Amino acid sequence: MKIHNFNAGPSVLPKEVVRKSAQSVINFNDTGLSLLEISHRSQDFLEIIEKTTCLVKRIMNLNDEYAILFLQGGATLQFSMVPYNLMHKKAAYLDTGFWAYNAIKEAKKLGKVKILFSGRKNNYTYISKNYHIPYDMDYFHCTSNNTIVGTQMKIFPKTSVPIVCDMSSDIFSRKLDFDQFSLIYASAQKNVSSAGMTIVILKKDILGKLKKNIPSYMDYKIHIQNNSILNTPNVFSIYNSMLTLEWIENQGGLSILEKKNQHKAKLLYDEIDQNNLFENKIHKENRSNMNVSFFLKNKNLEKKFNKMWKKENIVGLDGHRYLGGYRASIYNALSNESVQFLIEIMKEFERKFS
Amino acid sequence: MKIHNFNAGPSVLPKEVVRKSAQSVINFNDTGLSLLEISHRSQDFLEIIEKTTCLVKRIMNLNDEYAILFLQGGATLQFSMVPYNLMHKKAAYLDTGFWAYNAIKEAKKLGKVKILFSGRKNNYTYISKNYHIPYDMDYFHCTSNNTIVGTQMKIFPKTSVPIVCDMSSDIFSRKLDFDQFSLIYASAQKNVSSAGMTIVILKKDILGKLKKNIPSYMDYKIHIQNNSILNTPNVFSIYNSMLTLEWIENQGGLSILEKKNQHKAKLLYDEIDQNNLFENKIHKENRSNMNVSFFLKNKNLEKKFNKMWKKENIVGLDGHRYLGGYRASIYNALSNESVQFLIEIMKEFERKFS
């Protein structure tokens, strides 16, 4: 039974990652132990952490000025950890979606936030490029991809202020100059692994400038000193990440994946634009290549469309509960075939109900 | 190949939990999807959370005054979350081990800590019962089991002050009046599931008395309102927990497991006490039924003993890196057979080298 999984996260993973993970749950590396039963301080696991760290750096083309951390608590904990570690007095934020807005709410608890642009009144369908980052900000925070509405930042500003970016829903989906960022974080359950782990990639020299007495778990410096095992990390998700990153390298790396992702997104947006029954509300140059949102122009057809795609083993196509409509999340591991299949359904629906 | 896994955590899990987890990674509930690929807001997962919550309450005999949360960040994050949520001015702590000491360090960042007893100068080999909890403390914090040294609190104080207990290494190992505690937390990778998840069990009426503007992820109230899915939780570990809790019920619940655990511990402590070559340094009435630490009286024999047990497919018997020696962690899922096997090795070693 082939399932077409358009879930927004947790979401589809490469088949071989799933297969190897299941195998490791039974018998990890022929140790006779389950991956779930090995010590996080065993040589076996230290090698996993080391290998995963190297893979992240190699795939993102980052040098040793960067540290890679595998933490818990999701992007939500990062919304607080970032200002705890980097906010002396004030920081600049872009309000480009629900999660960006939440990041702002958390930062406001710890200092002053200057919002440089807010897409809130336009329902986040548009991201401005016309904003100015004051030089005296402690950092500039942005969210590269809005998972819910389906927008994506295509370019990032040039600034002397450290750039912090939440890449939860598009990390490892495209080639960027990653060294333009001082800190990148991403909850891993979309493009990387199973849920319950957050990757943090940060330039070590941005730390140590504040003298706050913060909780140890919130302190990046302490996590770096402890190589992500201050306490027991999410062993299983880190292992999955290693497998996914190996898969990414085998696919040819980020430039190849970017092309594939662009191609999948173009096919789907083209169909939405051509199809009489559907529409996408996003400003064209901000359309996300990861989360494609669309709506039926005639809401009365919803039940019929839902019946049609659900019958065809498509899952996860419902829009976010705040938004309604539809959303196809087309992450790295979502095949071209699944996109084509969805397009065929949409075409058939148009033929029947147009 | 039968492996005898004495790891301190992550550690041995029931065989059927491991088997079903692996099966679910391939095909969850015959959905054709991996457990790693289902949405945390899907009906399937909401049922897992609901079922796991009910199992915790039923096994611990707790009523609906208690909320059950499945969070991330381990006990280490709880060291800060507890005072963030409960400390108005001052709290009382027992310093009964390395982790208790760390809990104290984190609490001191947020208020005044009164240490009622410290076992530090006795290398944590003893836990006093002679301490008094001042009535005006915001809460009393204790650690039920010291994983590293191998001590365990057998009784808990009677007090009007809310009791907070870190049960990371002995939760679900014995029957207690759990409603004597206002808050229990436990990182799950010992007796419950795979790593990366923390269970928090708390009486709802202890919350809401403080007016601090704390990070959302640190706020128990927000997690309760969101039924543990404020953000994406560790789906896989929560599912594993459900399986382990079902296994616990099938075993006959906590009173049966407690007897089995007492029996295993007695066998092993008896051997250590009888064997000429080994010793245990813990005050007898504080000996842990979960983590049994022991040392060779003659350190020169270490290499020989290590060679012997390692050859016999025993893993995880090395003492904690701070302590040296040996430690057998004999959690719920560690079989009587494995304990007997270790005892045979110790006896053989005595015959050869005594």
Q: What string of pLDDT tens digits covers the 354 residues of chain B?
A: 789 999 999 999 999 999 999 999 999 999 999 999 999 999 999 999 999 999 999 999 999 999 999 999 999 999 999 999 999 999 999 999 999 999 999 999 999 999 999 999 999 999 999 999 999 999 999 999 999 999 999 999 999 999 999 999 999 999 999 999 999 999 999 999 999 999 999 999 999 888 888 999 999 999 999 999 999 999 999 999 999 999 999 999 999 999 999 999 999 999 999 999 999 999 999 999 999 999 999 999 999 999 999 999 999 999 998 899 999 999 999 999 999 999 999 999 999 999
Length of chain B: 354
d(CA A200, CA A69): 5
pLDDT, tens digit, 9 for 90 and up, residues A228-281: 999 999 999 999 999 999 999 999 999 999 999 999 999 999 999 999 999 999
Q: Which residues contact A191 (CB under 8 A, 6 or more apart)?
A: A169, A170, A171, A172, A173, A244, A290, A331, A332, A333
Q: Are B194 and A218 in contact (CB < 8 Å)?
A: no
| Residue B29 burial (CB count, 10 A) | 13
Token output for B84: 């963030």
Structure confidence at residue A69 as a pLDDT band (50, 70, 90)? very high
d(CA B211, CA B3): 51
Query: What 3-state DSSP class applies to A316?
Result: coil
Distance from CA of A277 to the nearest CA of B (A): 27
Q: Are A196 and B232 in contact (CB < 8 Å)?
A: yes
Q: Are A195 and B234 in contact (CB < 8 Å)?
A: yes
Q: Are A37 and B11 in contact (CB < 8 Å)?
A: yes
Element (H, E) at A94: strand A90-95
**What pLDDT sits at residue B321?**
87
Provide the number of CB pairs (under 8 Å) joining chain A to chain B: 202
Is residue B260 flagged as an active site residue? no
Indicate whether A227 pLDDT > 90: yes
Give yes or no for a cis peptide into A10 (omega within 30° of 0). yes
Give contacts of A321 with chain B, Cβ < 8 Å: 41
d(CA B121, CA B89): 27
Pick from A19, A33, A41: CB nearest B5: A33
**What pLDDT sits at residue B210?**
87
A241 within 8 A of A35, measured Cβ to Cβ: no
**What pLDDT sits at residue B1?**
74
State the first-to-last Cα distance of chain A, in angstroms, to the nearest integer.
30
Q: Which position among B190, B219, B260, B309 bears the catalytic label?
A: B190
Short-list A220, A47, A25, A234, CA closest to B20: A25
Is residue A311 flagged as an active site residue? no
Query: What 3-state DSSP class applies to A112?
Result: strand
Q: Is B45 exposed, middle or buried (0-12, 13-18, 19+ CB in 10 A)?
A: buried
**What pLDDT sits at residue A329?**
98
Which domains, from first to last, does chain A contain?
A: 15-251 (3.40.640.10), 254-353 (3.90.1150.10)
What phi and psi, each to the nearest 5 degrees, are found at residue B66? -100, 140
Q: Are B8 and A39 in contact (CB < 8 Å)?
A: yes
pLDDT, tens digit, 9 for 90 and up, residues A108-154: 999 999 999 999 999 999 999 999 999 999 999 999 999 999 999 99
Short-list B346, B347, B351, B305, CA closest to B324: B305
Is residue B221 flagged as an active site residue? no
Tell me the average pLDDT of chain A: 97
d(CA B272, CA B346): 8
Short-list A90, A109, A89, A88, CA closest to B212: A109
> What percentage of chain A reaches a pLDDT higher than 70?
100
Any alpha helices (H) in B252-335, and if so which ranges?
A: 254-274, 302-311
Indicate the angle between helix axes A235-251 and A43-60, nearest 10 degrees: 40
